[in-house]
Structure 1
Amino acid sequence: MKFQGRSTTKRTGGRRRPIRKKRKHQLGSSPTETRVDDTKLKVVETRGANEKVRAMSTNVASVATADGVVSADIEGVTRNDANPNYVRRNIVTKGAVIDTSAGTARVTSRPGQDGQVNAVLVDEE
């Protein structure tokens, strides 16, 4: 299913006018941009009477190590491929590399969607 909308030009090159505006369930939302700070969660209603927990800010991560899963404090963001500006602003997204009390780790969860930060230790070479 495509919700971005159909093409505004016809095959012939003519203009195609929109049938209607987007419906409520087709609208997107702005990114959460989870910051490194005291934990603050926000519950958002989603389609089908379900809920999502958004992490507005957090300072705790569940880090998977060779021995098991350890709860570690987040000290800062060292790399974020999603946006280089996120490193300066300490914003955690999926794939971000964070400094924790357990060591350097890569985020595997989506904090803006899940409400928690899960990470895996990264081998420093």
Structure 2
Amino acid sequence: MKYQGPSPRKRTGGRRRPANKKKKHQLGSEFTETQVGDAKFKTVDARGNTEKVRTIAQDTASVAIDGEVVAADIEDVTENDSNPNYVRRNIITKGAIIETSEGRARVTSRPGQDGQINAVLVEE
């Protein structure tokens, strides 16, 4: 979500006029819709001479099973609490439940920020 700034209204209901416009570092960016598919990444400049790797599409996930990490193939997105439409569009976000070759797993990383998909097996 983009930075909105302080409320234009005071607690008393009076109007507060902005002292300045948004600066470049306060502007946000569009949400990266990570989808299931052949691996595709994009690097973007971040603050402080660093880069972020955004995952555009990914077909494997690192799934934690009883303390061990296994690379599993992603088959489908089954649930996504952040938006039900993401299930139909196969968009992976943090907290989404994905169907993998190892079973159902919940995504614990942020693919659009981290550049990888980490997940934990869901007990059923």
Q: TM-score if structure 2 supplies the norm length? A: 0.92
Matched, 1:82 2:82: yes
- Offset at 1:11? 4.6
- Offset at 1:18? 1.7
For 1:29, the equivalent position in structure 2 comes to 29
Aligned counterparts, 1:11-30, within 5 A = 11-30=11-30
Q: Distance in 1 between matches of 2:12 and 2:28?
A: 31
For 1:120, the equivalent position in structure 2 comes to 120
Q: TM-score if structure 1 supplies the norm length? A: 0.91
The residue matched to 1:25 in structure 2 has which SS? helix
The gaps in structure 1 that reach 5 residues or longer are none
- Offset at 1:67? 6.1
Q: Distance in 2 between matches of 1:87 and 1:13?
A: 42
Q: Distance in 2 between matches of 1:82 and 1:56?
A: 18
Q: Once structures 1 and 2 are overlaid, which stretch shifts more, 14-23 or 95-104? A: 14-23
1:7 maps to a residue whose letter is: S
**When the two structures are aligned, how many residues end up with a matched partner?**
122
- Offset at 1:13? 3.2
Identity %: 68
Cα 1:97–1:11 change in 2 (3 A) is closer
Instruction: Give the alignment's Cα RMSD to 1 decimal.
Output: 1.3
Q: Distance in 1 between matches of 2:11 and 2:71?
A: 56
Matched, 1:93 2:93: yes
Q: Distance in 2 between matches of 1:106 and 1:14?
A: 46
